[in-house]
Structure 1
């Protein structure tokens, strides 16, 4: 079993091959040509015949749909040997700063978990950080995926992954990759990331109970914090709010 810590585990029940991953040569970048929400729904549709191990939103939200012991259906004959990342956006886009961070986290984890080398590759028989189009016809013929501008960002993703692994980002923990929010009537989000945020609020003089559950009081304190820092006061802890508070 290989599920990435910090990624939202959003398993799908169709469109993948259980225990089908033969090896992990590297990580492949894709572009969704759509939204994270729409892609999530599509992967759950049996008619799609498509999936990915991971997905990122432009705000940096990170989801995992398929365990890396299983084969996602993302890049034709490359599926059995490569981990896939679908990134929210359209052809011609560049990855946002938050997406670069999310992809770097995946690459750093894949390096530790699967021995993926921290290098760029354009060879479907190589190893490292690749992109969908490099596989040519055997990988579905999607030569323009994810686009030249994102391919050019591989070097930055690798550099960020190396910094993560080298411990150069000492101090505050990075944003956990999921949006912390309270939804009336839904189960409360919980975890160490919630506890870390509650502690940050309390240190910033917006005190809440540090219990690891993101409820209505945590949302209210977050909104007050956001207003004080001239952020969108929606009560949702995304990358910008997290960075402003967790120090």
Structure 2
């Protein structure tokens, strides 16, 4: 990552083991940056992290983000990790907040991580070690409640770095009254753009005013991606209303 001091470790990680990136997990070292750097190089540690910050603002990168760091057990395959110098009960310094925000901003641009606070392993965004519970090693005091309370500030700082709206800031345009299958007025083009941005319609499909079969199929695919629709037995629903419009636009643009 640009801006991080590359400090590769020869042990304690899995090459090519990162399946995907749901977000960035914040940890506390319970020690110093120098001590942690040394410990990660010891094969007895059986632990590592992608990134680490010092209280003065130093940012290390130990593991490539294509590789799996050994930081949060069951969360290693799908989450990046950032260790932070300090002890349980500490808060992150202003410099550390900026460095973690830089990591989050980079993960947003590179891996599509949304600028939001995550509260469970099923979420996406900026998370923390304790949220994984026993599946993540049972470290319920890491990084501590005071640092968890700082996560929203980190997200705001990352939003400033990227210039992108933080998740939750996006407001969907008003639903076009009268938008319905097999009609050309109002134009279906904004709907098609949102479907493409959210991944439900191929970007190669030419946009058209008419709310035709391809658009209907894409809307049905969007609906079927949500458990509530599947549970209701709606296997094919080509129409979209105000609530669906808002949900689709948020999914497409609030990342």
TM-score range, shorter chain: 0.5 to 0.7
Cα distance, 1:166 vs structure 2: 1.1
Rounded Cα–Cα distance in structure 1 between residues aligned with 2:162 and 2:96: 18
Cα distance, 1:55 vs structure 2: 0.1
Cα distance, 1:24 vs structure 2: 0.3
Rounded Cα–Cα distance in structure 2 between residues aligned with 1:166 and 1:24: 21
Please, which of 84, 87, 100 is the counterpart of residue 87 of structure 1? 84
What is the 5 A alignment of 1:32-111? 32-111=29-108
- Matched with 1:143 is 140
Task: Describe the SS at the equivalent of 1:143.
Answer: coil
1:8 aligns with 2:10: no
- Matched with 1:160 is 157
Please, which of 97, 116, 121 is the counterpart of residue 119 of structure 1? 116
Rounded Cα–Cα distance in structure 1 between residues aligned with 2:83 and 2:73: 15
Aligned length: 165
- Matched with 1:18 is 15
Task: Describe the SS at the equivalent of 1:85.
Answer: strand
Task: Describe the SS at the equivalent of 1:31.
Answer: coil
Structure 1 segments unaligned to the other structure (5+ residues): 168-247
Task: Describe the SS at the equivalent of 2:42.
Answer: coil
- Matched with 1:133 is 130
Q: TM-score, normalised by structure 1?
A: 0.66
- Bigger Cα Rg: 2
Cα distance, 1:162 vs structure 2: 0.3
Rounded Cα–Cα distance in structure 1 between residues aligned with 2:3 and 2:161: 14
RMSD: 1.1
Task: Describe the SS at the equivalent of 1:119.
Answer: coil
Q: TM-score, normalised by structure 2?
A: 0.64
- Matched with 1:190 is none
Rounded Cα–Cα distance in structure 1 between residues aligned with 2:59 and 2:43: 23
Rounded Cα–Cα distance in structure 2 between residues aligned with 1:103 and 1:66: 16
Cα deviation code 1:62-116 (max 9, x no counterpart):
0000000000000001000000000000000000000000000000000001000
Task: Describe the SS at the equivalent of 2:37.
Answer: helix
Task: Describe the SS at the equivalent of 1:46.
Answer: coil
Cα distance, 1:125 vs structure 2: 1.0
Structure 2 segments unaligned to the other structure (5+ residues): 165-255
Rounded Cα–Cα distance in structure 1 between residues aligned with 2:163 and 2:134: 37
Task: Describe the SS at the equivalent of 2:27.
Answer: strand
